[in-house]
């Protein structure tokens, strides 16, 4: 194995660890800035692969990878892992926000014991009376 191949493998493992770190860490403005920088780098790399494919083959050979297409595939996998990590973290944050909002709405709309709306109290009393009447009819009918 060539030394450059080992270096690339170490860099790839470090990139995976960084993606895992971002998945577990909180976000913020700094995180947004880093994402935008990575997006810009990705756009430049994609454009360069279209216009200068021989440059990617040269870089791949320099690192110890056979073809430029293989290097691009490896970089795509690492980029995808980063995307999955950030999407997972964003989804978890949204899930927590929805839960918090649901709890706040439940607390704001909850009625204190004994402070029922008169219309609700009348409906509850009427339905209780109907249940009692229905129960009495079943007993007299032998049910």
**Whether the predicted pLDDT of 119 surpasses 80:** no
Tokens for 137? 């009819």
Percent of residues, the chain, with pLDDT higher than 70: 69
Helices 29-51, 68-109: inter-axial angle, 10-degree rounding: 150
Give 74-100 pLDDT, tens digit per residue: 888 888 887 888 788 889 999 999 999
Domain ranges of the chain: 3-110, 119-143
Any residues with CB less than 8 A from the CB of 124 and at least 6 apart, and which?
116
Question: Which pLDDT score, from 0 to 100, does residue 99 have?
Answer: 97
Which of 28, 31, 12, 8 has its CA nearest to residue 80? 12
For the chain, the residue count is 143
Q: Mean pLDDT throughout 95-114?
A: 91
Give 12-46 pLDDT, tens digit per residue: 778 777 766 765 665 667 767 777 787 788 788 87
**Whether the predicted pLDDT of 128 surpasses 90:** no
Question: Which pLDDT score, from 0 to 100, does residue 41 have?
Answer: 81
Question: Measured between alpha carbons, how far is 86 from 21 in angstroms, rounded to an integer?
Answer: 10
**Whether the predicted pLDDT of 102 surpasses 90:** yes
Name the DSSP letter for residue 103: H
Question: Measured between alpha carbons, how far is 139 from 143 in angstroms, rounded to an integer?
Answer: 5
CA 31 to chain centroid: 15
Rg over CA atoms, the chain: 31
């Amino acid at each position: 194995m060539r030394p450059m191949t080992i270096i690339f493998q170490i860099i790839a493992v470090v990139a995976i660890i960084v993606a895992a770190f971002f998945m577990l860490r909180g976000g913020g403005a700094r995180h947004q800035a880093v994402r935008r920088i990575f997006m810009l780098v990705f756009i430049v790399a994609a454009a360069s692969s279209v216009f200068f494919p021989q440059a990617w083959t040269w870089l791949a050979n320099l690192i110890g990878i056979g073809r430029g297409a293989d290097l691009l595939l490896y970089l795509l996998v690492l980029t995808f892992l980063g995307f999955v990590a950030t999407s997972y973290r964003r989804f978890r944050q949204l899930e927590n926000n929805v839960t918090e909002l649901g709890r706040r709405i439940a607390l704001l709309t909850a009625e204190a014991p004994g402070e029922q709306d008169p219309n609700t109290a009348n409906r509850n009393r009427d339905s209780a009376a109907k249940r009692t009447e229905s129960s009495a009819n079943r007993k007299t009918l032998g049910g």
